[in-house]
Structure 1
């Protein structure tokens, strides 16, 4: 199969605006399954389907098509169990209801065909993903000529909605991305990333923020937070009421946080080793020096968890153990199960990246953003095509989507090393299979209690993959580790403050359980946020309470500027 390009679907949609044939093919039943759109995807992949199974699917398809056509001739409206077609305009008009039903019928059987393919799991996953992307792109809701809601808005506004939609589309074309929120409503440091603190150290890769205490006493050992470098850190500090950072400060912790630089051409040769040595290890060193403690509570979120875990393994190989505990949120250490991201990783795609940016260059943040949006195309792409362009609606302000649009570049050499050695070859979990910063990496040498969190609906880090870290960290002392499973996805599951009283989480007191599904089957569900469970874990490993520091930093590491600092404000081109 060809390398999948997340931008291709949106570009294809743009080219179809003046061409009626593609959407017409999608909103009418085919004469047989072989006439359905995107069958060439299966052919290109060399996909084979058992003839008997194909015949059965084709017979079922034609039977349902015949019933749909009969209902249409009798003016019987079909039932549309899809939220894209839930508005009255779809439900009450025969032609629009029929076009939506036809599309759903075609889509359902295309997916059935993809599922019936006789192929290895990786190829099958790629076929399913490619077919789903095409199905999502060709929904009649995505085109003015087949979207009755947009047509009604056009008539009611006397053309104003279309004019505004075109204006917003042209503006987005200039930006190179679809607007998901009113970006003018937010400013970093003004109404997002507002927890008070100071930058107390900086080098070419990161600034280290020390947050101002909110309690008279604090735990001796500070908390060092390492967020992912593929996004800005302020997902952990959006608003005061949903800030993970502020919550930790309120619990009596001296919080240090790594604010990664947004790489430009000056950092286009930075390696994974640099992120470990100059990044996480240096941050650990400075936090220990300022707090005058031999150990900190270490914390990593997503890729930040992979980075800080690698750093602790490198230090362990040097005989150093600077972490009294380790918190990993939605983090991959064992890359056996990487969810839908696996469709973007194979030898061909990794080798292509290595040839282009493996020694020098940048992976643009917009490429990463496009990839992640494609994982939930209906929610993060086509939903906004419909509202912003077809209906002329301005997207409302939403802090999380503002953060989502604030993308970050990555140095090519660092990204390519990470892609090959973790996602493709899964070497990080193998003791001594990798050499980083001059040391062989063995995660089993990280001798510290661990708090591991996974989100049940996470499509980026499947919760079973997060659970797999238990087998790598303290394998001989699993009773020291805590695993918590939260509801929702990669971000919403993490950013779930107690005051909201939303969602739930699962705990299992049996810490020796090694099978994820068995762990869940015996786990107990609790209402609300998992944050208090984490707070209790941190408190246990934070040391005694001492007077809160009056000033940030120390004589060696003095305050440079107020939080959130300069680095987080640099936007990718």
Structure 2
């Protein structure tokens, strides 16, 4: 295809994307066509759906009759899913609201039956239809509307309608902020360098893609092996250096470790051609060179978070085939190296969707933060969209803001070439786990990694589901210690010591234990209260030497001088 023809295709798709929020209409229509074709030729499934509809109508009629005649509380005819707390309040248990929400749940269950279990429909299309149906049903949930929400009605009566006035004011502010492309209200209280990302340190190296921060010691002596942290380029690094009580960096420094952190540049249209190889070379490899100069003759505890862990694994495997291993250990926090089960993100990963996304990025040169945020919000629409509508616009409550939420609003872009490459090679084709991912023209193998691994999964992770993160134990030829912590992809990792509602499980698997499945491991591993941070530091201590004096800040003779104070300059890029 000529450049002219390709340009026309990209321009057309990019124009459509403005109205579809980046979702490919062809991908959606393909799923519906697959379903419609097969259900039309499945009289048994049609009969089953009719029977289920009659059965649900019967159950609902019996429930309504009991509600009309019983003097005591009537047991519901259907229970919400465990994660669904929309109708848990006492006000929902009285007529007519119990009839309203029970009818909604019965319909929700029936529509789930409609799009699942149809003979011949592909598993990928079935997952897409489940997701789309859930989005549609969430929009009409009775909890979203004043006439059908008893809790909002009670508050409206108690407040004399002022909650709706406040809600309208909040909505007006949100619309104004959206038009002005301004950050959510409250983020101004969590500014990097002032409120968050305030652990003392220096930027000791900078290139066109990263700033490398070396943190100042907080203890008289330190472990000889430094820690390099590789965060995901999809996020600002300071999720690991939030306010002091929530800072993993400060905790590590306080435990006697010399910590280095990569701070990624926020790419723009000029960076459209940056590749995965550039991120590996200018990010991980350049940082390793700097650390070797600043802390010579020492192995390194390398740590990767999310996609940073994936990139670190690629770099470690490539290094292992060429030279002596520079790593004392590898720690992978909520990271995946096998992408066959990437959770609900796989709903957005297919050839049609990626081609459509390529066109969006082709026009801009990058994927914008708002486009990524919309996809993640849809994965948890109840928690992130409709609960906000209820709390803010109906109850009139100002949205709560904390350091983690403020960080989440401070997104980064992703360059066209790199983002397209990692989505296709990792998510779509699973090249890394299957031995096809090439570095400098040759495939890398995770089995070449010899450093011990500490891997962390989080129970409620929608981005890197913990059973997927657990697969590292079967893809490497080294001892793997796996920790499963309560919380989600972000809050589970930012699990400060002393948090009152945190627990974790941890266990080490030797090379002989590679075939244990995640559910069996979970059932056989004791749960402990507290933060996994403490277990990780104990593990790091066990793979570290005796304490010594802290290294100097930078290595001027080798060209690594203190450029500026932490948090540097890249973190402020918008």
TM norm structure 2? 0.86
- Determine which of 310, 313, 320 is the counterpart of 1:306: 310
Query: CA RMSD for the aligned pairs?
Result: 3.1
Once the two structures are TM-superposed, the CA of residue 443 in structure 1 deviates from its matched residue by 2.0
Q: Distance in 2 between matches of 1:223 and 1:530?
A: 17
Structure 1 position 526 matched with structure 2 position 528: yes
Q: Distance in 2 between matches of 1:359 and 1:515?
A: 46
Once the two structures are TM-superposed, the CA of residue 359 in structure 1 deviates from its matched residue by 9.1
- Determine which of 446, 471, 477 is the counterpart of 1:443: 446
- Determine which of 215, 221, 226 is the counterpart of 1:222: 226
Q: Distance in 2 between matches of 1:350 and 1:458?
A: 23
Structure 1 position 557 matched with structure 2 position 534: no
Once the two structures are TM-superposed, the CA of residue 223 in structure 1 deviates from its matched residue by 0.2
Structure 2 unmatched ranges of 5 or more: 1-12
Q: Note closer, same or farther for the CA distance 1:331–1:391 as it changes in structure 2 (3 Å cut).
A: same
Q: Which residue is equivalent to 1:193?
A: 197
Q: Which residue is equivalent to 1:390?
A: 394
Q: Note closer, same or farther for the CA distance 1:509–1:549 as it changes in structure 2 (3 Å cut).
A: closer
- Determine which of 50, 56, 62 is the counterpart of 1:61: 56
Once the two structures are TM-superposed, the CA of residue 284 in structure 1 deviates from its matched residue by 1.3
Secondary structure (helix, strand or coil) at the match of 2:303 reads strand
Checking the alignment, whether the CA contact within 8 Å between 2:215 and 2:258 is kept in structure 1 is: yes
Q: Deviations over 1:427-485 (max 9, x none)?
A: 01123x12234543222222211111212332221222111112222x2xx3x322222
Once the two structures are TM-superposed, the CA of residue 165 in structure 1 deviates from its matched residue by 2.0
Q: Note closer, same or farther for the CA distance 1:394–1:41 as it changes in structure 2 (3 Å cut).
A: farther
Q: Distance in 1 between matches of 2:49 and 2:245?
A: 54
Q: Note closer, same or farther for the CA distance 1:185–1:155 as it changes in structure 2 (3 Å cut).
A: farther
Q: Distance in 2 between matches of 1:360 and 1:278?
A: 23
Secondary structure (helix, strand or coil) at the match of 1:547 reads coil
Structure 1 unmatched ranges of 5 or more: 12-37
Q: Note closer, same or farther for the CA distance 1:271–1:564 as it changes in structure 2 (3 Å cut).
A: same
Q: Deviations over 1:281-327 (max 9, x none)?
A: 11111122111235311000110001111122232343252222110
Q: Deviations over 1:21-41 (max 9, x none)?
A: xxxxxxxxxxxxxxxxx9x98
Checking the alignment, whether the CA contact within 8 Å between 1:166 and 1:389 is kept in structure 2 is: yes
Q: Note closer, same or farther for the CA distance 1:437–1:7 as it changes in structure 2 (3 Å cut).
A: farther
Q: Which residue is equivalent to 1:296?
A: 300
Q: Deviations over 1:351-401 (max 9, x none)?
A: 222344359711001111111111111111111111112222111232221
Q: Which residue is equivalent to 1:336?
A: 340
Residues 12-411 of structure 1 mapped to structure 2, 5 A cutoff:
45-46=35-36, 48=39, 50-71=45-66, 74=69, 79=76, 83-92=85-94, 94-118=95-119, 119-176=121-178, 182-357=186-361, 361-411=365-415
Secondary structure (helix, strand or coil) at the match of 2:86 reads helix
Secondary structure (helix, strand or coil) at the match of 1:198 reads strand
Secondary structure (helix, strand or coil) at the match of 2:198 reads coil
Q: Distance in 1 between matches of 2:535 and 2:319?
A: 28
Q: Which residue is equivalent to 1:515?
A: 516
Once the two structures are TM-superposed, the CA of residue 69 in structure 1 deviates from its matched residue by 4.0
Q: Note closer, same or farther for the CA distance 1:566–1:199 as it changes in structure 2 (3 Å cut).
A: same
What count of residue pairs does the alignment treat as equivalent?
Answer: 537
TM norm structure 1? 0.86
Q: Deviations over 1:503-523 (max 9, x none)?
A: 322234553322223323332
Q: Distance in 1 between matches of 2:128 and 2:384?
A: 20
Checking the alignment, whether the CA contact within 8 Å between 1:192 and 1:238 is kept in structure 2 is: yes
Checking the alignment, whether the CA contact within 8 Å between 1:508 and 1:520 is kept in structure 2 is: no
Checking the alignment, whether the CA contact within 8 Å between 1:218 and 1:548 is kept in structure 2 is: yes
When structure 1 is superposed on structure 2, of 313-322 and 201-210 the one drifting more is 313-322
Once the two structures are TM-superposed, the CA of residue 142 in structure 1 deviates from its matched residue by 1.6
Checking the alignment, whether the CA contact within 8 Å between 2:294 and 2:551 is kept in structure 1 is: no
Q: Which residue is equivalent to 2:6?
A: none
Q: Distance in 1 between matches of 2:196 and 2:224?
A: 29
Checking the alignment, whether the CA contact within 8 Å between 2:481 and 2:509 is kept in structure 1 is: no
Q: Which residue is equivalent to 2:549?
A: 547
